């Protein structure tokens, strides 16, 4: 995922959903998906259908999670068979990889780690209807034609089950003007799993976004000591799927 730096064409569907509101590009991802911010307090997410997750899945998960966590409220979602879209109410704050926070990685990394821990503490495992545990991820990969190596099909013993974000990369934490986490976005894969499935990905993404040397700072902000075995396993599983 990246912040757009050039002018991009607005899809007709997005323009229709925006109505009279002005649009500002917010994100562009490697699949061709686009997210726009409107000047009336909404975000419009649009992109091609994807076998890994869908916006319909995300809308369902957000409707569940919003009761306990700072996540976007879904206004509408739909599909035309080739593309899908979702409209949500904007949350306060900007992505942890907005230019301000790229220039202040210590603050951003702390916010991501603390925010991830708060999300894990807030969402109730017993009430979550979705799983993101290893067998489910392996099955999802298989449906997309990906065979996970045998060495990754048996996970380390579970440390603690939580409701995982499912894509805890740094861009998906929102940070307020004071440098504190303000919310989370992008929940297409939310489900119950070992907390290290999220922690490992969040820590790994610090290097992509801020450069080397920030992994342990994120884990410290989360409030645990680094677990090298679980971090390595879940990092490899992420890359394999």
What's the CATH code of the domain at 75?
Answer: 3.30.200.20
Tally of domains in the chain:
2
Q: Are residues 75 and 106 in the same domain?
A: no
Q: What are the pLDDT digits (tens) for 85-102?
A: 999 999 999 999 999 999
pLDDT, tens digit, for every residue of 102-140? 999 999 999 999 999 999 999 999 999 999 999 999 999
Residue 184 to residue 165: CA distance in whole angstroms: 9
- 167 tagged catalytic: yes
Q: Read off the CATH number of the domain in which 147 is found.
A: 3.90.1200.10
Same structural domain for residues 236 and 156?
Answer: yes
- In terms of residue numbers, what domain contains 167? 94-240
Which of 40, 67, 89 delimits the end of a domain?
Answer: 89
Catalytic residue among 57, 167, 198, 227: 167
Q: Averaged over 196-213, what is the pLDDT?
A: 98
- Phi then psi dihedrals of residue 86, to 5 deg: -150, 140
| Binding site listing | 172, 186
Question: Per the annotation, where are the binding residues for Mg(2+)?
Answer: 172, 186
């Amino acid at each position: 995922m990246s912040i757009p730096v050039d002018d991009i064409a607005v899809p007709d569907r997005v323009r229709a959903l925006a109505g009279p509101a002005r649009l500002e590009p917010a994100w562009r991802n490697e699949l061709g998906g686009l997210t726009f911010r409107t000047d009336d307090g909404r975000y419009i997410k649009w992109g091609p259908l994807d076998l890994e997750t869908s916006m319909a899945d995300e809308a369902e998960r957000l409707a569940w999670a919003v009761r306990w966590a700072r996540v976007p409220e879904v206004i509408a979602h739909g599909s035309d068979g080739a593309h899908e879209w979702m409209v949500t109410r904007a949350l306060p704050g900007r992505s942890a990889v907005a230019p301000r926070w790229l220039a202040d990685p210590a603050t951003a990394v702390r916010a991501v780690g603390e925010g991830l821990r708060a999300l894990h503490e807030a969402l109730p495992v017993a009430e979550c209807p979705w799983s993101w545990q290893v067998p489910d991820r392996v099955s999802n990969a298989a449906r997309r034609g990906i065979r996970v190596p045998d060495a990754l099909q048996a996970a380390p013993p579970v440390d603690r089950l939580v409701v995982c974000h499912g894509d805890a990369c740094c861009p998906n934490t929102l940070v307020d003007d004071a440098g504190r986490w303000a919310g989370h976005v992008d929940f297409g894969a939310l489900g119950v799993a070992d907390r290290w499935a999220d922690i490992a990905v969040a820590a790994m993404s610090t290097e992509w976004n801020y450069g080397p040397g920030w992994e342990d700072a994120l884990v410290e902000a989360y409030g645990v000591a680094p677990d090298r075995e679980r971090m390595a396993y879940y990092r490899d599983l992420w890359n394999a799927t």
